[in-house]
Chain A
Amino acid sequence: MSEINGSAQSSGSSAGIERNPQEMRVNMSAKDLSPEDRKMLHSIYWRSFTEYCFWAGEAEAGSDGFIYSMIPAFRRYYKTEDERRDAMMRHTTWFNMTENVSTFVMGLVASMEKENSEVEGFDTSSIDAVKASLMGPMSGLGDAIFWGVLRCIAAAVGISIASTGSALGPILFLLIYNIPSMLCRWWMTVLGYKLGSSFLSKAYASGVMRILTKAAGILGLLMIGAMAASFVKFSCALAIPVPNADAVQIQTYLDAIFKGLVPFSLTLFCMWLLQKKVNVVWIIIGIMVLGLVFGMTGVVAVSA
């Protein structure tokens, strides 16, 4: 188990956590970096879009994308082919992170490779150690915020507009998701390069991360509720005949109890089944059969 030694400390983790929340006001602009720095970061940024386009199997995962993205840094800091080859081989290790935050590690590794090229006797295992330790936690946050919440919001808006047949739906979906995603990707690149891992300690100490995660949970659940109400459709066509009066529509009664009672309960029921480890394929088959029966027997009113 490789230890994170002194060399890693110099790349940024401070001796003590700053408790002053003012420290959180970080400068995310790249304007105070040199033009060569900026050019390199830009290059890493654009290359990172292809991170997972191939995948070196379960053994090395996104290493090919990582190497490809880091080539600008290798080119810049290592002048001999031997050094570049060493750098490439160093990064054939397993790598898998939420793509839009992975550039933080890329920026950070770039700054560490720079140090490696300048300092004699720099322990390169610290680069591996930092990569390995940051991958997990940052992906946890990244997955929750991007795959969980942002995607939900974008999809909810997209689906509701697209259901009317408008191409604006998918376009809005792509915009709502990708604009924050691309911005985050850039900021992460700059932050990783400029601030190193001490940024994370400070962020954590100010409590911002936990608050963010909870906020993501709230917003996500809210959107899923809204989506369940809009996209799960059930409209009962049955009526109980009443002598000498109009037939009583069952749907009216259902609505009186709670509007959207069936979609709401059905969604929660499916979730409960999933929590009880029922295989999702069975649930899908079950719902399909249920729907078929309802539709064929006329229990449900279906508009064309």
Chain B
Amino acid sequence: MIVQVRIDDRLIHGQVALMWSKFLDTRGIIVANDAAARSEAVSSTLKMSCPSSQRLLVKTVDDAVRAINDPRGKGMRIFVLTNCVRDALELVRRCPGEISEVNMANVGRFDGAKANEKTKVITGVELTKSEVEAARELCLTGVDVYHQTTPNDFKTDVSDIIGRL
């Protein structure tokens, strides 16, 4: 079962690796990212920084959809990582019933777009126009959409803010 889909433009890094896997008591992490799955260098570095207690799959978004819908994952607590809202939306749409919450932790910090072309939803979440649209649709799917950087932080619901954008 997918305990959380996290949108983090840095995918796995110090915080995510250590804190969240312990906090959510997960057995495995699925990284859903086309570029990462296709690049040797990036997949290896992701696997390196994955904690030894967690199993890991680095998949393209399509393959990740398959993995999330896989019945073998029903009893297993899994954490899913993507790096943009569009990908998260894909996952929610194509894995009906599997995902109940999406955490927009860090988005858009280095997608190369200029600061004035992006809308800041909350600190650390900056969305380009297409991302804003994806975010709106994500909120409409009915999943919980919130922002929580580390387990110690407050969980801020962002669906209102997105609705008003």
| A interface residue numbers (CB < 8 A to B) | 1-4, 8, 12-17, 58-59, 93-95, 98, 125, 128-141, 143-144, 197-198, 200-201, 203-205, 209-210, 213-214, 217, 277
Contact = CB atoms under 8 A, between A and B. Distances in A.
Indicate the size class of the contact surface on chain B.
Answer: 35 or more
Nearest to B83: A1
Given A59-B115, A210-B48, 17 more contacts: A1-B111, A4-B38, A17-B40, A93-B110, A94-B109, A131-B110, A136-B11, A136-B12, A137-B49, A138-B48, A139-B13, A139-B14, A139-B49, A140-B17, A197-B41, A198-B41, A205-B44
Which of B14, B17, B109 lies at the interface centre, i.e. has the most chain A CB atoms within 10 A of its CB? Answer: B14
Contact of A133 (B34, B36, B84, B123): B36
Contacts of A17: 40, 44
Contacts of B49: 136-141
A204 B47 contact: yes
B52 to A, nearest CB: 5
B40 A277 contact: no
Contacts of A210: 48, 52
A13 B35 contact: no
Given A4-B35, A140-B49, A133 B112 contact: no
B35 A3 contact: yes
Contacts of A137: 11-13, 45-46, 48-49
B18 interface: yes
Contacts of B124: 58
A35 B17 CA distance: 40
B110 A132 contact: yes
A130 B112 contact: no
A13 B45 contact: no
A213 B10 contact: no
A4 B42 contact: yes
Contacts of A131: 110
A133 B41 contact: yes
A282 B123 CA distance: 26
Nearest to A148: B18
Interface string B3-26: 000000111111011100000000
Contacts of B35: 1-4, 129, 133
Contacts of B109: 59, 94
A144 B49 CA distance: 10
Interface in B31-84: 33-36, 38-42, 44-49, 51-52, 83-84
A1 B84 contact: yes
B114 to A, nearest CB: 10
B163 interface: no
B97 interface: no
A134 B47 CA distance: 12
Contact of A135 (B13, B41, B44): B13
A138 B18 CA distance: 14
A1 to B, nearest CB: 6
A125 B39 contact: no
A16 B9 CA distance: 26
